[in-house]
Amino acid sequence: MEGVADELMRQMLTSINRYDLCITEFVRIVDSLLPERVFYKNSPELLNGGYTKSKTPIRVQLLGQEPNWMAENANRAIELGSHGVDLNFGCPAKTVNKNRGGAVLLKSPEDIYKIVSKVREALPEYSILSAKIRLGFDDSSLFEEIVSAVSSAKADQLTIHARTKLDGYKPPAYWHHIGRIRDKTNIELIANGEIWSFGDATQCIKEAQTNNLMLGRGALALPNLADVIKFGHQPMPWSTVCNLLREYAELELIGDKSYYFSSRLKQWLRYLKIQYPQAELLFSQIKLLKNKNEILSIVNLLTDK
């Protein structure tokens, strides 16, 4: 998740859950082969064999519209150690869509086909190629065509965020649309959207008819959500979240984005508030603060209670 699930967040969440895979924030591809340093900046895990510190594989996500440049950059990601490549056809951001990247491509399954097949041709056979889509742009009328474009272009996996671009992030997610195409395609399907709890995951698996799930915001709101779903663990108590918050704060401060420390922490608290009322209190205490030490002392004070 762009601007949210960066290396530090990935490191933390994969250290407390047994995720099968982590997708990076997207790398924007326009009209060039990006230098290696761009990939390393986006995914420092590439310097660690493509794994987070707790050995969860990561996969680089690319967002762009020009098939040849997408293919060249996909190849580079693989050469640098990414565990496969993921192509983003779901991003609703205006700037991205204006340049014909992300969700706007859902209006044109043939363009999706061209991109996916070019990337497939360029990659070694063993590399997993996945794509991420929504149900459509304004509505789901092209959904089957989009799925068929991705699968006939020989991608291996398809993640479906079960909403249209127009739906944005508004609940509900329409998981049954995934179930409805289940028998019409051979591609491995992964369901995504509005999974916040064990109950949501169970219902999603039933409606989407796949056991493969991708977590989004829910993974930030309940830090051990993956293990709650996968292994029936109890949701993490607030006291454990507090320890994580402190750990995260320290990681942020030593990381190369420490300048953004206060906004990063506030951002995570906005998600935590969804599951923990205590996060609301903490948020209100630090919301006007920018100084790192002041923030850290309040985090320590409140989380000690």
Ligand X SMILES: Cc1cc2nc3c(=O)[nH]c(=O)nc-3n(C[C@H](O)[C@H](O)[C@H](O)COP(=O)(O)O)c2cc1C
Q: Determine whether 267 is exposed, middle or buried from the number of CB atoms within 10 Å of its CB (0-12, 13-18, 19+).
A: middle
Subset of 236-295 contacting ligand X (CB under 6 A): none
CA angle 61, 66, 69 (to 5 degrees): 70
Q: Which stretch binds ligand X (CB under 6 A): 135-143, 174-182, 191-199, 296-304?
A: 191-199
Considering only 9, 22, 26, 272, the residue that binds ligand X (CB under 6 A) is 26
Contact 179, 189 (CB under 8 A): no
Structure tokens at 84: 């496969």
Subset of 33-62 contacting ligand X (CB under 6 A): 61
- 154 Cβ contact partners less than 8 Å away, ≥ 6 residues apart: 116, 117, 120, 129
Q: Which stretch binds ligand X (CB under 6 A): 141-149, 192-200, 258-266, 294-302?
A: 192-200
Q: Which is closer to ligand X, CB of 40 or CB of 169?
A: 169
Minimum distance between the CB of residue 192 and ligand X, rounded to whole angstroms?
Answer: 5
Q: Which is closer to ligand X, CB of 167 or CB of 252?
A: 167
Q: Which is closer to ligand X, CB of 77 or CB of 296?
A: 77
Contact 185, 153 (CB under 8 A): no
Minimum distance between the CB of residue 279 and ligand X, rounded to whole angstroms?
Answer: 17
> Can residue 92 be called a binding residue for ligand X (CB under 6 A)?
no
> Can residue 224 be called a binding residue for ligand X (CB under 6 A)?
no
Q: Which stretch binds ligand X (CB under 6 A): 52-60, 142-150, 186-194, 296-304?
A: 186-194
Contact 219, 225 (CB under 8 A): yes
Q: Which of 22, 91, 204, 242 is catalytic?
A: 91
Q: Which is closer to ligand X, CB of 194 or CB of 252?
A: 194
Q: Is 91 a catalytic residue?
A: yes
> Can residue 88 be called a binding residue for ligand X (CB under 6 A)?
yes
Prior bond to 67 cis, omega within 30? no
Subset of 106-135 contacting ligand X (CB under 6 A): 132
Give the residue carrying structure tokens 């951001």: 93
Q: Which is closer to ligand X, CB of 41 or CB of 246?
A: 41
Q: Which stretch binds ligand X (CB under 6 A): 74-82, 112-120, 202-210, 215-223?
A: 215-223
> Can residue 194 be called a binding residue for ligand X (CB under 6 A)?
yes
Minimum distance between the CB of residue 293 and ligand X, rounded to whole angstroms?
Answer: 28
Q: Which is closer to ligand X, CB of 169 or CB of 231?
A: 169
Nearest CA to 130 out of 28, 207, 21 is that of 21
> Can residue 66 be called a binding residue for ligand X (CB under 6 A)?
no
Number of residues that bind ligand X (CB under 6 A): 20
Considering only 195, 204, 213, 222, the residue that binds ligand X (CB under 6 A) is 195
User: Hey, which residues are catalytic here?
Assistant: 91
- Contact set with ligand X (CB under 6 A): 1-4, 25-26, 61, 88, 90, 132, 161, 169, 192-195, 215-218
